Chain A
Amino acid sequence: MRMTAPLERVFRVFLDDPAAQRYGYDLMKAAGLASGTLYPLLARLQARGLVASAWETPQHDGERPRRYYRLTGEGIEVARLELAQLSARRRRGPGRRVRPAPADAR
């Protein structure tokens, strides 16, 4: 999965408390994403088995049940790995990439 800025934000929000169950709207607020960006992203993550969702039981009569999301075990691992790789890439910076010298340069 390509690491995009919205995906990075969603992973960071989830990893703040990996065990927490989060509603779509809460994720939107925490990650600062619009619904049209967040929900397709969650759907993709869910299709890959990185995020699981479940419906809550409404506490009051007439209330609609809400759906909450949480990272799966695999999702936590992948999110940590991806964020670590991203941080490493950022530390290296774009201009300091090590490339092998051509053979005739010596």
Chain B
Amino acid sequence: MRGGRYALRAGEFLVSRACRRLPAAIRQERYQEWLAELPVILRDRDTGPAPWRVVRMLAFAADTLRGTALAADAYRGAHRGAAAKSTAAKSIRWLGTGLLLLAGLLGCALVLLAYEGAIIYQLTVGPNLAFSVTLVLVNLGFIAVGRSRRWASPGRRWYPVSKIVAGAGLSIRAMAGPAGWGHPLLFAIISYCVYAISVVCLAMAVVQAVRYLSRLRHPGQGPGQQPGRATS
């Protein structure tokens, strides 16, 4: 089959993505197992004509992705506690997704209202407020979405939390300045703190981008290495 090889590669890619969600101890084993099924599906003449077999093979590979995303606990030796825990994690992730959507809608609405002049403050305050409120919601969303994975360790949680603090500070400043709340010095201090946090966040973002790029150049050294290249 002419396109079979490319389809097989696409299938292998999907399976490797699926296996990245699995615990390291079983990742390689599952990768080998699923990879071995792909050519069998392509050769299975009972399934139908060649294009249909390609579709079937890709569907198999894509569905492993769904399986590892939704039932990762099953591969870790499922028991009731783990299942309940994973349900809670899923709910929090959905909450995070909701927050992200809300942040997007709110951000768009506030920016539109500000530029239409419908917002009560001056033209510059609306976008500031929109930006800062969106910043808070987006980072809350990110924490909730990735709670069970990337931000699980407290050491990694400081980054979005500091952005939330920065966003909250900016929100207060954006609202308080024109409304004449509190002492100006207080808001000046808040502003400086927010700027300091923003600079640190920006520096950390640069460091993370550099680390990510170096990991791309030297695959197999980070935790997200491809299962096919893993050594046991």
- Residues on A lying within 8 angstroms of B by beta carbon are 23-25, 28-29, 34-37, 39-41, 43-44, 47, 64-67
Contacts and interface: CB of A to CB of B under 8 A. Distances in A.
B70 A43 contact: no
Interface SS of chain B: helix, strand, loop or mixed? helix
A25 B67 contact: no
B36 A65 contact: yes
Interface stretch (B73-81, B90-98, B127-135, B206-214): B73-81
A24 B33 contact: yes
Contact of A40 (B35, B40, B71): B71
A66 B60 contact: no
| A contact patch SS | helix
A69 to B, nearest CB: 10
Interface of B: 30, 32-37, 39-41, 44, 46, 59-61, 63-68, 70-71, 74-75, 77-79
Contacts of B74: 40-41, 43-44, 47
Contact of A36 (B33, B37, B40, B70): B70
Given A40-B75, A43-B74, A43-B75, A66 B67 contact: no
Contact of B63 (A36, A43, A44, A64): A36
Nearest to A65: B36
